[in-house]
Structure 1
Amino acid sequence: MTRPALLVMDLQIAMVGRVEDPHYVRRVAGAIDAARGAGIPVIYVVVGFRPGHPEVSPANKAFGAIPPPAFTTADPGAAIHPDVAPLADDVVITKRRVSAFTGSDLDVVLRATGVDRLVLTGIATSGVVLSTLRQAADLDYRLTVLADGCYDPDPEVHRVLTEKVFPRQADVVDVEDWISGPG
């Protein structure tokens, strides 16, 4: 039996503020509503650091350039965007790297709740979505990517990933198609 969960990854205010698609957040909100309506757990994944970023090596090109206090509890931009905010009983996972699994307890939470299929949304397609998909596939999760529930600042990179790379390890569908039969 398959037990899916919808992962809403990096939809934090600072990241959503860079999204150029005015309908993106609304589409993800629709996927969240559909998941809840179907009894599918919604799990939020956010990037977060302690004050002073002790988890970040200066050698890390991606995170080493992030100035403190970005993505700490003192940073209002680190909050999940209010249009897709979690409910009180939703799980919020804090990660320390690009993949939703790295530096987090995501795998523990998924296995404890019997989840074996992940439905991925997030910012950016070439960041958290790609890294999480690859690691989840290696951990034997079944995968679905909501293509238009993912966003990348480079439309060509998004296209190549969703049309050519992701289908090797995941079902790739649009939010509207998934809503018609979530799971």
Structure 2
Amino acid sequence: MLKSFGKTALLVMDIQNGIVSRFGENEEVLLPFQKAVEAARRNNISVIFVRVGFSEGYPEVSPQNKSFSAISKFGGMTVSDAATQIHESVQPEPNEPVVTKYRVSAFAGSTLEIILRSRQIDKLILSGIATSGVVLSTLREAADKDFALTVLSDACLDADPEVHRVLTEKVFPRQADVLTVDAWIDTLENGVG
């Protein structure tokens, strides 16, 4: 009998060309993401991809925004730019939404919450780059919106390993279960999810 985790979604956040490229040619860092996506698909868990991208002319970018104002000056990162496309290692299937956000949190200016509510999803599995960016911001906002949360610690990357460690070991456990991809897959196989 096929197990159903229909009220759960795996968020694959900012695994896009322009961000993945910051980690060089080390394709091994993407293996946990691939494994999580495959496990979600096998277990009928919704997979939702989230990317950051902007409209031509950057109307969404405020000059006061330290993170994004530089992008508007130097170009790139528009929704049609190669840098904002989902990385080939985890290509979305036709039924899997790709949500575009305009700030750090996956909810910021996106259709994510509408999709989650429409599908009656109440549990989120978080993965993404960077741990201190999209994962932290999305976790905080999702917790405030009363979603049950799990963070896949090895399917999160950060340029600063110590920041990643502190977040996954000390900060995230206050609001989420923190598991490795393999430990999460074990919970799926045991029907816990």
When normalised by structure 1's length, the TM-score is 0.96
- For residues 1-183 of structure 1, the aligned pairs below 5 Å read 3-19=7-23, 22-67=27-72, 69-182=75-188, 183=193
Cα distance in 1 for partners of 2:76, 2:86 equals 14
Cα distance in 2 for partners of 1:31, 1:55 equals 32
Q: Is the 8 A contact 1:51 1:69 kept in 2?
A: no
Q: Is the 8 A contact 1:52 1:69 kept in 2?
A: no
Distance 1:50 1:158, change over 3 A: same
Aligned length: 183
Cα distance in 2 for partners of 1:43, 1:74 equals 19
3-state SS of 2:69 partner: coil
Runs of 4+ in 1 over 3 A off after TM superposition: none
The answer to which structure has the higher helix fraction is 2
Cα deviation for residue 105 of structure 1 reads: 1.3
Cα distance in 2 for partners of 1:22, 1:134 equals 29
Identity among equivalent positions (%) equals 55
2:67 partner amino acid? A
3-state SS of 2:22 partner: coil
Q: Is the 8 A contact 2:6 2:44 kept in 1?
A: no
2:61 partner amino acid? V
Cα distance in 1 for partners of 2:35, 2:6 equals 22
CA offsets 1:33-92 (integer angstroms, 9 cap, x no match): 000000000000010110011100011001111145422134111110001010011011
1:93 partner amino acid? V
Q: Is the 8 A contact 1:2 1:116 kept in 2?
A: no
Q: Is the 8 A contact 2:41 2:47 kept in 1?
A: yes
Distance 1:115 1:41, change over 3 A: same
Q: Which runs of 5+ in 2 are unaligned?
A: none
Q: Is the 8 A contact 1:99 1:135 kept in 2?
A: yes
